Amino acid sequence: RKEVEQDPGPFNVPEGATVAFNCTYSNSASQSFFWYRQDCRKEPKLLMSVYSSGNEDGRFTAQLNRASQYISLLIRDSKLSDSATYLCVVNGGGSYIPTFGRGTSLIVHP
């Protein structure tokens, strides 16, 4: 089983739709969780950290479910500019090395 798993997609949604991605992780001792966004041929950029209580940044909401070992990202009112690959990152739990998921591709169409 991979340490961090994501559905590669693509998720193809119309503008204005709500879309959600999940990311499961295997190390129950993991401590830090993030969502990154990567545009085609660009570097990954931090979208948001994921806190135990859940957190929101505008149209984006991140949740952590420790019992089921997954994190989620909800995007409301999707924009064309949201089209990108979304990577989840998990760290901690005795390892110095962050683990990146392979990413979920989102395509928002008019």
Partner 1 sequence: NAGVTQTPKFQVLKTGQSMTLQCAQDMNHEYMSWYRQDPGMGLRLIHYSVGAGITDQGEVPNGYNVSRSTTEDFPLRLLSAAPSQTSVYFCASSYSNLGRDGYTFGSGTRLTVV
Chain residues binding partner 1 by CB under 8 A are 31-32, 34, 36, 41-46, 49, 87, 89, 91-92, 96-98, 100-103
User: In terms of CB distance, is 43 or 58 closer to partner 1?
Assistant: 43
Nearest distance, CB of residue 75 and partner 1, angstroms: 19
3-state secondary structure of 24: strand
Cβ proximity of 62 and 32 under 8 Å: no
Q: Residue 68: how many CA atoms within 13 Å on its side-chain side? A: 9
DSSP 29: T
Cis peptide preceding 10, ω within 30 of 0: yes
Nearest distance, CB of residue 57 and partner 1, angstroms: 13
User: In terms of CB distance, is 17 or 92 closer to partner 1?
Assistant: 92
User: In terms of CB distance, is 46 or 80 closer to partner 1?
Assistant: 46
Beta bridge mates, 74: 20, 61
Nearest distance, CB of residue 101 and partner 1, angstroms: 7
Cβ proximity of 88 and 34 under 8 Å: yes
Nearest distance, CB of residue 72 and partner 1, angstroms: 18
